Structure 1
Amino acid sequence: MSLEPLKAARKKTIGAKQTLKAVEKSQAKEVYWASDAELHVVDPILRICSSKNIPIVKADSMKDLGRACNIEVGCAIAAIIEQ
């Protein structure tokens, strides 16, 4: 799946803590997670997304997801707040 919408998003969260808050408040429009991220970090957030019907997109790696977020390190999970 393409990470272009995340790159182009005006407002996004980067990382587990920020993304969890956005998901709990139902602010996240779409959540992106890295396939090589540690499951104990992303799994609780993905479960909440499923229960709230928030779309989930799987990225190939933390490195790719970090690049899509315009950061120089890997990222386990991120979300679009505003397109």
Structure 2
Amino acid sequence: MSKRSEAPEKIIELSLTIKDQDGNMFWVLPIILVTLEDTPMSYEKVTRLQSELIIGTKQTLKAIKHGAVSEVFVADDADRQITQKVENLAQESGVPYHRVDSKRKLGAACGIDVGAAVVAVKQ
């Protein structure tokens, strides 16, 4: 594997060349790596968008059905039976959803003193 070029910082393009026993090249695979540091953290994004949030499962389901949601955040430690409904509807509706590890942290990012299993961003 050889480093081919560096695009904007933290994005690295690599290529993988596969050769046979005689040294004949028969496969070149381009690979692009993006570090997680380039992706905004979900909690930080929720904190930035506090005024545009819908907090709670029922409200989020209703808003997705009305086409009023641009994306959804779901806590991994929330009741799976509840969050699965939101994930399924989001997927069916073409709304991106992101999983975060803690409903307590998600609630704090929303500016509330309790955990939040599901949070949506209004369109």
TM-score normalised by L of structure 1? 0.91
1:1-83 correspondence to structure 2 within 5 Å: 1-9=41-49, 10-82=51-123
Query: One-letter code of the match for 1:4?
Result: E
Structure 1 or 2: larger strand share? 2
Count of matched residue positions in the alignment of Structure 1 and Structure 2:
82
Structure with higher helix content: 1
Higher relative contact order (CA 8 A, sep 6+): 1
Shift of residue 4, structure 1, vs aligned partner:
1.8
What's the secondary structure of 2:42's corresponding residue? coil
Hey, which bits of structure 1, 4+ residues long, moved more than 4 A? none
CA RMSD between the two structures? 1.1
Q: Identity over aligned residues, as a percent? A: 34
Letter in 2 for 1:7: T
Structure 2 alignment gaps of length 5 or more: 1-40
Gaps of 5+ in 1: none
Cα shift at 1:2: 2.4
Taking the aligned partners of 1:6 and 1:23, their CA distance within structure 2 comes to: 17
Where 2:116 maps in the other structure, the secondary structure is: coil
Q: TM-score, normalised by structure 2?
A: 0.63
1:4-36 deviation digits (Å, cap 9, x = unpaired): 222111311101111111111111101000000
